[in-house]
Structure 1
Amino acid sequence: MTSLQLSAKEEMLEKFLDAAARGDLSQVSTLLSNAPSLINQTGHSGWTALMLAARNGHHHVAEKLLLLGCDKFSVNSSSQTAYDIATFWGHRHIAGLLGRAADGCGRILPGADLHPHENYFSRETLDRQSGRRTDKVWLEAKQSDSETVYLLFSNLSPMVRTQQQDGSEAQGDMKLCLFRFEEVKDLLLKPSSVTIFLGIEKTKSPSSSSSSEKAESLSEPPVWFAINTDEDAAALLERCREKNCSFPRSPNRDLLKLSEEEAGVVAQARSVLAWHSRYSFCPTCGGATKMEEGGYKRSCLNSECRSLQGVHNTCYPRVDPVVIMLVIHPDGNQCLLGRKKVFPVGMFSCLAGFVEPGETLEEAVRRETEEESGVTVGPVQYVSCQPWPMPSNLMIGCLAVAVSTDIKVDEKEIEEARWFPRQQVIDSLFRGDRSVFVIPPRQTIAHQLVRHWICMNSNL
């Protein structure tokens, strides 16, 4: 009796797998309604119904199986998932379905209703007032206003002052040096100086209704500009009345010591100034250019240049999109981190890479992950982004779920990559345990992506 029952179960499984392989949606649905447990069972080859549907390009069957809750992360004897199989056989429509399907990845990736996180360099302290950029009269008047604030840059580094206490270097210990018109007016006249309009200080609602405060609220808040000059740095430092002033030599490290408010201003100023330092000549014809619109446009002086005909992105400050991703193991309890040779000892971070022309963010995540680590990625979910003024990148942070786990690093890109268990990450992130690895500083989006993943399903 047991042998007959076993044979009947095996026969039903064979019918189910055969129906999936042939694309017979009606029979697949009927068999599942009678025996729901068939959905994730495998045949002698270790293939599930979803794998067979993916192999033969039956999108409607794969869609139905996903809808009914099949496990798309199951692997066959060759360690292939259904996504791997669909990709190998060129069924892009099914690979896309498996990559974006909410069911099956919801247990690993969070829902879309999480509160967005503000990353370092992201805070908008100033109202950019882009409509004012074409008002030359207003800009010139504000440049000489006694209330106007100037930031001074040398070789794209802002002048700052340090306030160290007991040798500490906590965030906020470094402050921007602020100047007024009389202190920098000679620099505004130098042809080698570049001056850009940053915006107007955002106003705050007064807590009192006194007449003096009402009068003050009616006046326009201070306007901010930034100047980058090639004047001698030592001579520039003498302009500041504050002590302990300097120009940071290692922006990737030193600019992380600013407050959130000042970091956002520097991100805007440094990115635009870096563009001017690299695009003083027309990318279209090679001719000289002039600065316009408060520093947010460069126009070619060659009247015959085609960049003057229509709108061209070569005329405006560029932003380079970079995907940075925390890749999660199919089991949901490990993440993939890599390290470059230039990293501090013991530091591992998220993988990252530039988005290529004509490429979606999701595909950039998949391509860069596979190129750097050899790991194949399925579902991708956007989390948050971060301006990164080194010189002008936008770091687009994502979570991604791996559909393969074997690591084979591209040694030209990174020197090592590893799967780190959740507990090791918690120990490093919250308990300061550096015995296994070190996480990047909290001002980086890589740190925030790791924290985001750890906190998704915990009370940390």
Structure 2
Amino acid sequence: MTSVQMSATDEMVEGFLDHASRGDLVRVSDMICYSSKLLNESGKQGWTALMLAARNGHFDLVKALLSKGCNKDLKNKSGQTAHDIAKFWGHKHIADLLVGDGKIRDILPSTGVTEHENYFSREYLSRMSDKRTDSGWLSAKQSSPETVFLLFHNLDPLVTSGPEHMNNSQAKLKLCRLKRDSVGVLLKKSDIVVVFLGVEKQECSSLSSVSKEEDGLIAWFALNVEENPSEILKIEDSHSFFLQGPMPTLLMLNEDEGGIIAQARSVLAWHSRYSFCPTCGGKTKVAEGGYKRTCLTEGCKSLLGIHSTCYPRVDPVVIMLVIHPDGNQCLLGRKKTFPPGMFSCLAGFIEPGETIENAVRREVMEESGVTVGPVRYVSCQPWPMPSSLMIGCISVAVSTDIKVDKDEIEEARWFTRQQVIDAIVKSSKAVLTMPPRQAIAHYLVKHWTCLNSNL
């Protein structure tokens, strides 16, 4: 009778360990409810259910076993604990869970990342913000034959694709750099907003022979017109045209001019939306080289102290790559407006009184139903559509079940490291397409693929 009972017990233990090895959370939980003694039972080689779950990367099962009170310090016949096993097999998220207090630790690198220059980020011009209040200097620069003017029509920039560019398949469009003679008529119009962008960066040696009165600085200005400029201006470049639509056309400019566009278009877009005082509704006038609008209504509250309604706004947006707890998958989503097959990082606006980290966690939860733990800043990118700052982060999920909010995105999926690498290199095996290389979403994914999968 005793031998029969022992055989039944051995059979139960063997089944329990088999379910643990397979990651069958439901069966394991049911068996523990039947007999809690199974928690720390081991097979012939001393392997417990916790060790087997750690060996095979069953994160949720490891959490469940720990919550039931199993002993994580037990060793098998090779002297290995569950932590040793998880670490050996590269399951860092499980190894971290098994260390000390059992909290999930950051799988991201502890050292700072090298600063990356994203498209729209390069500063070709020195902004010279101290000159914005110098009306005499600004007026003189607008009259200078050396000054460069950029023309926009309903926020679309005037560009050129002249013969010198058309013969080079690798060349990109260039901004039309107009002179005073070309835009003189517009500068005389009272309703035209002119924004001072800055001056070309120069070596100190190049200014040594310049008189103090002239200063030798080449200033840049941007102006936007709503009526058809061709009816007013005489533009000599027959290959010039207005580049319509912000995306993806603005990505066709080179990196230097991408940075200029980010500044010019954002400020001009602000002026197009804030021609009246948002505080009292009164008329406003442009000040400080285009970087301020002042209400003309006497006694308006916007004239007292510093009010953000008077200055160009920047909307902070978090854009994040969510890494699976195993460190070898990432979460990407797609909107209905995306081209077929394209997936990208999740993103959303930061709300008032919210930190970057909390915005990442909230947006990921709202859009995908996934809970995020550690968050790490990586890089940022100005995005002049119309004026956002994309704050790029990498974050680590602590749950993996996806429940998409159809109002935000239509689909979200976990992709393996190899799948996103295939997409980046545009392999024939690719199961998805990525945003263009100029987008910070592309950089975040590429940055992650370069991280050691066992970090």
Same fold (TM over 0.5): yes
- Given residue 137 of structure 1, which amino acid in structure 2 is its aligned partner? G
Aligned equivalent of 1:248 = 243
- Given residue 378 of structure 1, which amino acid in structure 2 is its aligned partner? G
Contact 1:72/1:98, CA 8 A, preserved across alignment = no
TM-score in terms of structure 1 length = 0.75
Structure 2 CA distance for partners of 1:179 and 1:98, relative to 1, 3 Å:
farther
1:314-342 C-alpha deviation (Å, 9 max, x unpaired):
11000000000000000100110011111
TM-score in terms of structure 2 length = 0.76
- 1:243 deviates by 2.8
- 1:357 deviates by 0.4
Contact 1:193/1:230, CA 8 A, preserved across alignment = no
Structure 2 CA distance for partners of 1:217 and 1:361, relative to 1, 3 Å:
farther
- 1:44 deviates by 11
Pick one of 297, 300, 306 that aligns with 1:302.
297
- 1:157 deviates by 1.0
Structure 1 gaps, min length 5: 4-37, 53-64, 76-80, 83-93, 207-211
1:195-237 C-alpha deviation (Å, 9 max, x unpaired):
010001011366xxxxx9953698522001001112314436x
Does 1:120 find its partner at 2:122? no
1:23-79 C-alpha deviation (Å, 9 max, x unpaired):
xxxxxxxxxxxxxxx999999962359999xxxxxxxxxxxx9xxx9x99559xxxx
Q: Give the superposed CA RMSD.
A: 3.1
Structure 2 gaps, min length 5: 1-5, 7-49, 55-60, 72-82
Aligned equivalent of 1:199 = 198
Count, aligned residues: 374
- Given residue 154 of structure 1, which amino acid in structure 2 is its aligned partner? H
Structure 2 CA distance for partners of 1:436 and 1:302, relative to 1, 3 Å:
same
- 1:245 deviates by 1.4
Contact 1:192/1:229, CA 8 A, preserved across alignment = no
Three-state SS of the structure 1 residue aligned to 2:65 is coil
Structure 2 CA distance for partners of 1:217 and 1:413, relative to 1, 3 Å:
farther
- 1:371 deviates by 0.4
- 1:183 deviates by 1.4
Structure 2 CA distance for partners of 1:392 and 1:329, relative to 1, 3 Å:
same
Aligned equivalent of 1:417 = 412
Contact 1:197/1:295, CA 8 A, preserved across alignment = yes
- 1:430 deviates by 2.1
Does 1:258 find its partner at 2:253? yes
Does 1:47 find its partner at 2:66? yes
Contact 2:314/2:389, CA 8 A, preserved across alignment = yes
Aligned equivalent of 1:391 = 386
- 1:244 deviates by 2.2
Aligned equivalent of 2:372 = 377
Kindly name which structure, 1 or 2, has the bigger radius of gyration based on alpha carbons.
2
In percent, how many aligned pairs have the same letter? 57
Cα distance in 2 between the residues matched to 1:432 and 1:147: 48
* 1:57-456 map, 5 Å: 73-74=93-94, 104-105=105-106, 108-163=107-162, 165=166, 168=169, 170=170, 172-204=171-203, 215=209, 219-235=215-231, 239-433=234-428, 435-456=430-451
Cα distance in 1 between the residues matched to 2:63 and 2:281: 66
Contact 2:375/2:396, CA 8 A, preserved across alignment = yes
- 1:252 deviates by 1.5
Structure 2 CA distance for partners of 1:430 and 1:110, relative to 1, 3 Å:
farther
Cα distance in 2 between the residues matched to 1:426 and 1:175: 32
